[in-house]
DNA sequence: AAAAATCAATTAAACGTTTAACCTGTTTAC
DNA sequence: GTAAACAGGTTAAACGTTTAATTGATTTTT
């Protein structure tokens, strides 16, 4: 590969001059710069990013931590969409993105160690549902600039979807459609879940509806199998709900499966609502009423915040950026006549 | 950060000894190795991957080129699934993956140049439908180890899904269901498309069905909008087809939309078939009959081949690895009574 | 007992950059 | 006319590794 040294000897100047010319420093004459740039192009010179990083400690590389309990990875529609917009935004600002794993070559390591080895400028912790995990906290408490989504940590900027508003929208929608027996299968224990659960309860209260513990079941995110069992359980209650809110759209498939097996039809016999608003949701039968998260903005905002943090334009102690969404009305909720 | 130098002075040995000890060379005594490893751990030493790469020219980093005309990126279910298994396989073998863009910092560059700058060990060209593109050929003809999918190039190993078999399966299935008027909306011009078109034509011939040009329309991959128009066009023919094969499952949504608007129901009024077998396909209404590609194996095989190529265990001139799939029978094709 | 081989370490150069410090010649200031 | 400022360079060190060449001591061979 052609290096700065080759350009230097071709131009009859020192390598320092070449470096400064290519980085457009002020103490190289325009004439020399022009000549250096020209020969650089002619020789097909390309800077070696690791040599540069070694000196400057800047890699223009962002780590992405993409792991969750369900381990669906990139096939997880919602997170894939978030990552996609993160990627687009980061790339347009000159940053590459690299997935953070637990190994480089033969060396096993923690996520944090991986970041240090690779010297990423910062890391986007996406698609993580357990922020209590030892490896995650190690990373979040480290000096590596970090941005998270859906996590309220004092340590690093966070992009949070407006889960309070989202859940309220869903419950109020069901209420307005005449439902009073609204069940909720919620996901794995997490900040998102507790926000949604609180909002579910608060909204019911504000609507003067009693909170029933038999209508609240802990399920799992992105897990149709678990959801299927729980949904079946709910409709077999003596006093079953008329509407069920599911942890996410993909899990809603589980509920649909459960009702098919029980020969119940949606929304005639039972109404359901999802969360996320993935593309799939609008092609399910019936179209799913769900709360659409703005994945486009979430990802882009995460990239902006992370880069701002890297450039020290902001500090870690910021108030989370809240991204709104909207209720996507499908046809999975029946309007009850007795309303 | 703690470097090899710190360990050296802590242990009272030279940095060379430390390096060799940590890389487990033979010419360091076991006792010294043990002591060095111990202090390395105690000091929290982590190797700097760019310094190492600078000397060794091995980054343990694989580039991924992920771009197609529709520009749906990671939200493209089929390619996301392929990438996911590629990622899993690569990571389990100690390789990181980094997306290849056209910029690093403020420097704009071609894909090839990006690979050189970052010094990736190899690159996986996925999700590219135009292998004639100047930037793609520049990369494929370069010295960068490369693996492609769905592309037959003499230059680099390729993983190809068995499109001949896939299309034949679909056509024969339709035939066996009694269909004789089988149309095909095919995707953008590419090796995949021509293989499928040829297989479509060959299969019809072998079944003694005439090939009708009005039943063959060029559409686009992953583009429900275009497909919607073309599907509508097909059913308005004087002698319309009874079954339509679509370029992929996502585009099938376009056909479904078209028929909804025309008040036609699937499969009662018209039968359709997709291609890919994305998760979504089995939750469409009706469930889509489609040819399921083995994304799991395609991605994993791509990673294996690429790493083998990097390690020079294989040369570039290999016969493409063909991955089979299977027909996923849904309920979008009607059994015709007149059979 | 001398020569050869082996072991365990060190020295020093190299990978491709960046950058602080220095140098030299010209211009400006008064 | 001399000092100061500046423009446009160069030198050399450094970033954190790896590794070929070397050294010196011990062991083995004959």
Identify whether residues A151 and A196 lie together within a single domain.
Answer: no
A56 belongs to a structural domain: no
3-class SS of residue B6:
helix
pLDDT of amino acid A338 = 53
A75 at B interface, C-beta within 8 A:
yes
Q: What's the total number of domains in chain B?
A: 3
- CATH number of the domain that A231 lies in? 3.40.50.2300
For residues B328 and B274, give the distance between their C-alpha atoms in angstroms, rounded to a whole number.
10
- Residue A280: list chain B partners with CB under 8 A: 279-280, 283
Tens digit of each residue's pLDDT (9 = 90 or more) over B105-160? 998 999 999 999 999 999 999 978 788 889 999 999 999 999 999 887 777 899 99
Residue B11, nucleotide of least CA–C1' distance:
C9
Identify whether residues A238 and A145 lie together within a single domain.
Answer: no
pLDDT of amino acid B281 = 93
- Residue B105: list chain A partners with CB under 8 A: 60, 94
What's the CA B86/C1' D3 distance, rounded, in angstroms? Answer: 69
Identify whether residues A242 and A302 lie together within a single domain.
Answer: no
Tens digit of each residue's pLDDT (9 = 90 or more) over A288-331? 999 999 999 999 999 999 999 999 998 867 788 999 999 999 99
Using 50, 70 and 90 to split pLDDT, how confident is the model at B338?
A: low
A230 belongs to a structural domain: yes
Identify whether residues B301 and B155 lie together within a single domain.
Answer: yes
Nearest to A4 by CA among A46, A60, A65, A62: A46
Tens digit of each residue's pLDDT (9 = 90 or more) over B234-269? 999 999 999 999 999 999 999 999 999 999 999 999
Identify whether residues A190 and A263 lie together within a single domain.
Answer: yes
Tens digit of each residue's pLDDT (9 = 90 or more) over A150-204? 887 777 899 999 999 999 999 999 999 999 999 999 999 999 999 999 999 999 9
Domain hosting B97: range is: 61-161+296-324
User: Helix B163-176 to helix B191-206 angle, to the nearest 10 degrees?
Assistant: 40
- CATH number of the domain that B27 lies in? 1.10.260.40
Identify whether residues A264 and A149 lie together within a single domain.
Answer: no
Strand D nucleotides, any atom under 7 Å from protein beta carbons: they are 7-12, 14-21
B335 belongs to a structural domain: no
Mean pLDDT of the B300-308 span: 96
Tens digit of each residue's pLDDT (9 = 90 or more) over B58-69? 999 999 999 887
Sign of the C-alpha dihedral, residues A226, A232, A236, A237?
Answer: positive
B240 belongs to a structural domain: yes
B330 belongs to a structural domain: no
User: Model's pTM, two decimal places?
Assistant: 0.94
Identify whether residues B114 and B156 lie together within a single domain.
Answer: yes
CB atoms within 10 A of CB A132: 9
Identify whether residues A225 and A313 lie together within a single domain.
Answer: no
What's the CA B26/C1' C5 distance, rounded, in angstroms? Answer: 16
B99/A91 touch (CB, cutoff 8 Å), yes or no: yes
Chain B residue with the nearest C-alpha to that of A1: B116
For residues A274 and A286, give the distance between their C-alpha atoms in angstroms, rounded to a whole number.
12
Identify whether residues A277 and A181 lie together within a single domain.
Answer: yes
B23 belongs to a structural domain: yes
Of all protein residues, which has its CA closest to the C1' atom of C7?
A: B27
Using 50, 70 and 90 to split pLDDT, how confident is the model at A339?
A: very low
Lowest mean pLDDT of A270-284, B19-33, B121-135, B157-171, name the range.
B121-135
Q: Determine which helix (DSSP H) or strand (DSSP E) holds B182, and give its type and residue range.
A: strand B182-186
Residue A7, nucleotide of least CA–C1' distance:
C16
């Amino acid at each position: 590969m052609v290096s700065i040294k080759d350009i230097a000897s071709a131009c009859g100047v020192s390598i320092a001059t070449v470096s400064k010319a290519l980085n457009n420093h002020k103490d190289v004459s325009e004439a020399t710069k022009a000549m250096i740039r020209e020969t650089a192009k002619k020789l097909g010179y390309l800077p070696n990013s690791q040599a540069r990083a070694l000196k400057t400690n800047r890699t223009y590389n962002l780590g992405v931590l993409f792991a969750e309990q369900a381990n669906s990875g990139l096939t997880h529609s919602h997170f894939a969409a978030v990552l996609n917009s993160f990627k687009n935004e980061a790339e347009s600002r000159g940053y590459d993105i690299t997935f953070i794993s637990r190994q480089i070559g033969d060396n096993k390591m923690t996520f944090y160690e991986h970041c240090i080895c690779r010297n990423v400028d910062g890391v986007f912790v996406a698609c993580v549902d357990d922020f209590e995990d030892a490896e995650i906290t190690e990373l979040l408490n480290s000096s590596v600039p970090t941005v998270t989504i859906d996590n309220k940590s004092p340590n690093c900027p966070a992009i949070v979807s407006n889960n309070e508003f989202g859940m309220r929208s869903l419950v109020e929608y069901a209420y307005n459609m005449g439902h009073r027996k609204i069940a909720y299968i919620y996901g794995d224990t997490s900040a998102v879940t507790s926000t949604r659960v609180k909002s579910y309860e608060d909204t019911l209260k504000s609507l003067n509806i009693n909170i029933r513990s038999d209508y609240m079941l802990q399920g799992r995110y992105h897990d149709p199998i678990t959801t299927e069992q729980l949904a079946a359980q709910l409709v077999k209650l003596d006093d079953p709900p008329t509407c069920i809110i599911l942890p996410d759209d993909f899990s809603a498939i589980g509920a649909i499966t459960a009702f098919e097996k029980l020969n119940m039809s949606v929304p005639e016999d039972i109404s359901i609502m999802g969360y996320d608003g993935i593309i799939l949701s609008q092609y399910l039968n019936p179209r799913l009423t769900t709360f659409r998260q703005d994945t486009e903005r979430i990802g882009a905002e995460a990239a902006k915040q992370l880069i701002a943090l890297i450039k020290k334009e902001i500090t870690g102690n910021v108030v989370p950026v809240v991204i709104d969404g909207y209720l996507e009305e499908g046809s999975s909720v029946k309007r009850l006549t007795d309303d």
